[in-house]
């Protein structure tokens, strides 16, 4: 039994080496390319004077302080609220970006915006401009309301999608009631 204990102790110490393992350092990776903050399944509230103006939900959020931008991936949903804090519009896209300097939101890829009266806007990219709370795009857009379908290039609207303009209309049709 004594020999078994001595052999076990010798094997234990023989397995311990004094060599230190150095971690691999990726010289191609720059610290500036890494996000300063990162979160999953995030919900962000935008308020003004204590009132909710918008609620953003995203699957993956990455904040880059040096570039002053926040990248949104894995689905983006933004609910916009009026001055009475009633939801007026919902915007969805596959991904997005927030310019942290201006607080402008860019919705990118499969963008759909729907207001509370059923007006639907689809496009590949649009921007919610923080300074005047306007939704704008220079891409091809389709607007479908209860009465008509309008398509064209270039678009501007208030965030509730009630007062909108398409700059280069390519198609208009009245919908049957």
Give the tens place of pLDDT for each residue, 25-59. Answer: 777 767 767 899 999 999 999 888 899 989 999 99
Q: What is the pLDDT of residues 142-166, one digit of tens each?
A: 999 999 999 999 999 998 999 999 9
Query: What global pTM score does this model have?
Result: 0.79
- In the chain, beta strands by DSSP E: 37-48, 51-64, 69-81, 87-93, 95-99, 104-115, 120-129, 134-144, 148-158, 164-174
Q: Which CATH number fits domain 33-174: 1.10.10.1100, 2.60.450.10, 3.40.50.720, 3.90.1150.10?
A: 2.60.450.10
The domain ranges of the chain are 33-174
Half-sphere exposure of 126 (CA within 13 A, CB side): 30
């Amino acid at each position: 039994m004594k020999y078994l204990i001595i052999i076990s102790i010798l094997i234990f110490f023989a397995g311990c080496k004094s060599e230190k393992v150095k971690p691999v350092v990726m010289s191609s990776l720059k610290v500036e390319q890494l996000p300063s903050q990162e979160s999953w399944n995030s919900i962000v509230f935008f308020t003004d004077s204590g009132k909710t103006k918008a609620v953003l939900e995203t699957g993956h959020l990455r904040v880059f302080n040096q570039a002053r931008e926040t990248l949104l991936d894995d689905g983006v949903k933004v609910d916009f609220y009026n001055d009475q804090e009633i939801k007026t519009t919902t915007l969805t896209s596959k991904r997005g970006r927030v310019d942290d300097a201006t607080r402008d939101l860019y919705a990118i890829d499969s963008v759909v915006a729907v207001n509370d009266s059923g007006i639907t806007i689809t496009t590949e990219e649009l921007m919610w401009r923080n300074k005047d709370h306007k939704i704008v795009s220079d891409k091809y857009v389709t607007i479908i309301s209860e009465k008509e379908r309008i398509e064209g290039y270039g678009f501007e609207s208030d965030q509730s999608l009630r007062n909108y303009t398409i700059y280069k209309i390519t198609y208009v049709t009245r919908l049957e009631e």
